Amino acid sequence: MRPAVELNELTAHELHDLLASGQTSCREITQAVLARVEAVEPLVHAYVRMTPEIALRQADEIDSRLARGEHLSPLAGIPLALKDVMCTKGLPTTCCSRILENFIPPYDATVVRRCYQQGIVLVGKTNMDEFAMGSSTENSAFGPTRNPWDLERVPGGSSGGSAAAIAANEAIVALGTDTGGSIRQPAALCGIVGLKPTYGRVSRQGLVAFASSLDQIGPITKDVTDCALFLNVICGHDPQDSTSVDLPVPDFTLVLGQEIRGMKIGLLKEFLEYEGTRVPAEVEEPIRAALRVFENLGAIVEETSLPSLRYCIPTYYLIAPAEASSNLARYDGVQYGFRAPGEDIVEMYRKTRDKGFGAEVKRRIMLGTYALSAGYYDAYYQKAQQVRTLMVRDFSRAFQHFDVLVGPTSPTPAFRLGEKTEDPLSMYLSDVCTIPINLAGLPAMSLPCGFSDGLPVGLQMVGRPLEEETLLRAAYAFEQSTDFHLRRSLPARSNATALVRSSRQRGNK
Amino acid sequence: MPLTPEEVEHVALLGRLELTAQEREVFTRQLSAILDYFQQLRELDTTGVPPTSHVIPLQNVFREDESGKSLSQEETLANAPEQQQGCFQVPRVIE
């Protein structure tokens, strides 16, 4: 019999095998996860709300189905950490904003319903940058999340809570959202697997909108197999989301194990150098080493360049705030959310939004409102949309020759808390490798490919529209040849005091 | 292309935000720096390039015009900060 404390360290597919063969119960798994949360949450702060009653009730239902001899779907009984931007019926959904602090949705998001239908167990809702605006989870109204690999560093963002929960073994699978890198960058900084599906693959119904033409929900997992299994659950057409793609969804696990001989991989120069600054060797070397692994597996690697990508930062930071300023107009203190009193309605709106939103959200509303305002629309918003067309064209040209485009997920490993909070532009620049993919609507994933001074480095792979399978096939082949995905951050039986001490020592170094 | 504090105040009103004097000063500086950085887009010739607002070539998506299940009045008002007689309540709008 395995000691319960270890169950939370396993992957979903490993746990499924233990459940199916009667070696453990769903209650034991859930309790192991909850015990881990209790032990390390004071350090990590991955969650903003735990749901142990729901989790144990769902777990017991799965156990009784098992006892009746029912066949379980692959993720039945698997504990989930859900980013607090997806609506959960009867459970607060805050987007880590004061303005939604007491908002209780009257319905579940489509993805949440799909998870429940497959018997996935909800253990809690995770921390994030307010309204998913940020790259470090420091913009949460409820305090930052810390990177389990080094508690003085950020976990990335905006899905930093979901990524940290997986890296610290505080959940088995997690859901994040990715508008400009918010799944892939935290996955990279936390040394785990994150995938942003093609725009339209996953329903956005019940996802609180940030930038509607860019937002996409995706899995954050410990390995590629779990990623494929989770995609099987969440992908598919939803009549309630008019932008969801009405195409058949494959079984994403079927490509795992297929060889990649002859696969054409393009290393994107724009991901290695931006405005004359090269990514540091500590990032470039693991990427180059990963490419040698692919070559040894029979893939053909060449460097390539997509010139329009060098304009991705201004393009994204005009389009995303423009959409956000429009989407966030609904937070007016009338139908739901926080309200501050005012003498007249405009004063009520302004005081509500002043007290309800944090600094970064206000900054983006300002930027978006300005870009959309009379006299500036053509110079900024329209221009950015035209450059977006150039990027879409550049990518589609590259994909005539390459099957996959690669580069680092983030130009640096995890940075220190507070390092970029005073200079918003420097924070925006940390998204340089991920935002072009959202602008073009492509699928992309990050997987661990090495370490730099004990901090994980992520390899980003980008695919043709709707070709998540190509990414998974390549990622699985890479994973089978390496052991980066097996390394874990905080020790299993963590002693909180020892951890705090060791992180302080690191900080003083 | 620096923004003036007056322009920042105007944009704040459009976006229904209320800024303290200090926020106005910080945003004037930060937004000026960000917009200044964005000027690099001007060097790119986009004459005749159509704008992309959405990457999927979806046009209108239609369904049959049938009424479905809606939220009850009680559910709809459950999150309202202020309500009266089954309606959302706001400060007086009409004099």
Q: Which residues in chain B are closer than 8 Å to A133, comparing Cβ atoms?
A: none
Is B14 a domain residue?
Answer: yes
Determine contact: B9 vs chain A, CB below 8 A. Answer: no
Is B10 a domain residue?
Answer: yes
**How far is A361 from chain B, CA to nearest CA, in Å?**
11
The rounded distance, in Å, linking the Cα atoms of A337 and A98 is 8
Q: Which of B40, B65, B38 is nearest to A371 (CA)?
A: B38
pLDDT at A427: 87
The rounded distance, in Å, linking the Cα atoms of A78 and A24 is 12
Assign residue B37 the CATH number of its domain.
1.10.20.60
pLDDT at A314: 95
Arithmetic mean of pLDDT, A356-372: 96
Determine contact: B70 vs chain A, CB below 8 A. Answer: no
pLDDT at A494: 47
Let me know the angle formed at the C-alpha of A492 by A488 and A496, rounded to the nearest 5 degrees. Answer: 110
Arithmetic mean of pLDDT, A333-360: 96
Please judge whether A335 and B61 are an interchain contact, meaning their C-beta atoms are less than 8 angstroms apart: no
**How far is A474 from chain B, CA to nearest CA, in Å?**
25
pLDDT at A4 over 70: no
pLDDT at A423: 87
pLDDT at A503 over 80: no
Q: Which residues in chain A are closer than 8 Å to B91, comparing Cβ atoms?
A: 342-345, 347-348
**What residues contact A9, with CB distance under 8 A and at least 6 apart?**
A169, A488, A492
Let me know the angle formed at the C-alpha of A473 by A472 and A477, rounded to the nearest 5 degrees. Answer: 110
8 A C-beta contact, residue A458 and residue A409:
yes
Q: Mean pLDDT for chain A?
A: 94
Determine contact: A276 vs chain B, CB below 8 A. Answer: no
Distances (CA, A) of B37 to A313, A391, A410, B2: 9, 19, 21, 11
Arithmetic mean of pLDDT, A30-55: 97
Q: What is the pLDDT of residues A433-454, one digit of tens each?
A: 999 999 999 999 999 999 999 9
pLDDT at A113: 98
The pLDDT > 70 percentage for chain A reads: 95
Please judge whether B46 and A106 are an interchain contact, meaning their C-beta atoms are less than 8 angstroms apart: no
The rounded distance, in Å, linking the Cα atoms of A448 and A427 is 22
Please judge whether B38 and A350 are an interchain contact, meaning their C-beta atoms are less than 8 angstroms apart: no
Arithmetic mean of pLDDT, B34-41: 93
The pLDDT > 90 percentage for chain A reads: 90
Arithmetic mean of pLDDT, A480-500: 69
SS3 state at A149: coil
Residues of A recognised as catalytic? 83, 158, 182
Lowest mean per-residue pLDDT among A327-341, A382-396, B13-27, B44-58: B44-58
Please judge whether A104 and B78 are an interchain contact, meaning their C-beta atoms are less than 8 angstroms apart: yes
**Which residues does residue A458 pair with via DSSP β-bridges, in sequence order?**
A448
Q: Which of A204, A210, A211, A215 is nearest to A238 (CA)?
A: A204
Is B38 a domain residue?
Answer: yes
Q: What is the pLDDT of residues A213-271, one digit of tens each?
A: 999 999 999 999 999 999 999 999 999 999 999 999 999 999 999 999 999 999 999 99
pLDDT at A508: 39
Q: Which of A175, A211, A188, A180 is nearest to A427 (CA)?
A: A180
Arithmetic mean of pLDDT, A503-508: 44
DSSP code at position A371: H
If one counts every other C-beta atom within 10 angstroms of the C-beta of residue A362, the result is 22
Q: What is the pLDDT of residues A85-100, one digit of tens each?
A: 999 999 999 999 999 9
Bigger pLDDT: A141 or B69? A141
**Window 27-66 of B, Cβ < 8 Å to A:** 27, 30-31, 33-35, 37-38, 40-42, 44, 46, 49-56, 58, 61, 63
Assign 3-class secondary structure to chain B: CCCCHHHHHHHHHHCCCCCCHHHHHHHHHHHHHHHHHHHHHHHCCCCCCCCCCCCCCCCCCCCCCCCCCCCCHHHHHCCCCCEECCEECCCCCCC
Please judge whether A386 and B49 are an interchain contact, meaning their C-beta atoms are less than 8 angstroms apart: yes
Domain count for chain B: 1
Bigger pLDDT: A379 or A131? A131
**Window 235-254 of A, Cβ < 8 Å to B:** 239, 242-243, 245
pLDDT at A504 over 70: no
* Residue of B6, B40, B52 for testing the chain A interface, max A β-carbons within 10 Å: B52
Q: Is the dihedral of CA A15, A226, A460, A286 positive or negative?
A: positive
Residue A425 pLDDT grade (very low, low, confident, very high; cuts 50, 70, 90): confident
Query: Closest chain A residue to B71 measured between Cα atoms?
Result: A106
Q: What is the CATH number of domain A4-310+388-490?
A: 3.90.1300.10
Arithmetic mean of pLDDT, B34-58: 90
**How far is A149 from chain B, CA to nearest CA, in Å?**
32
Query: Closest chain B residue to A239 measured between Cα atoms?
Result: B63
**Window 319-338 of A, Cβ < 8 Å to B:** 325, 329, 332-338
* Residue of A100, A243, A367 for testing the chain B interface, max B β-carbons within 10 Å: A367
Structural domain boundaries enclosing B20: 5-43
A232 residue type, one letter: N
The rounded distance, in Å, linking the Cα atoms of A271 and A410 is 9
Q: Which residues in chain B are closer than 8 Å to A200, comparing Cβ atoms?
A: 56, 58
Strand segments (E) across A88-146:
121-126
Determine contact: B4 vs chain A, CB below 8 A. Answer: no
Residue A334 has its nearest CB partner, among B18, B55, B88, at B88
Residue A491 pLDDT grade (very low, low, confident, very high; cuts 50, 70, 90): low
Taking one residue from A and the other from B, the number of pairs with CB-CB distance under 8 angstroms is: 154
Residue B41 has its nearest CB partner, among A344, A387, A441, at A387
pLDDT at B93: 86
Is B21 a domain residue?
Answer: yes
pLDDT at A500: 43
The two structure tokens encoding residue A362: 């206000």
Arithmetic mean of pLDDT, A481-488: 90
Determine contact: A426 vs chain B, CB below 8 A. Answer: no
pLDDT at B54 over 60: yes
Determine contact: A422 vs chain B, CB below 8 A. Answer: no
A486 residue type, one letter: L
- Asked if omega into A158 is within 30° of 0 (cis), the reply is yes
Let me know the angle formed at the C-alpha of A299 by A297 and A304, rounded to the nearest 5 degrees. Answer: 145
pLDDT at A171 over 50: yes
Determine contact: A399 vs chain B, CB below 8 A. Answer: no
Arithmetic mean of pLDDT, A125-143: 98
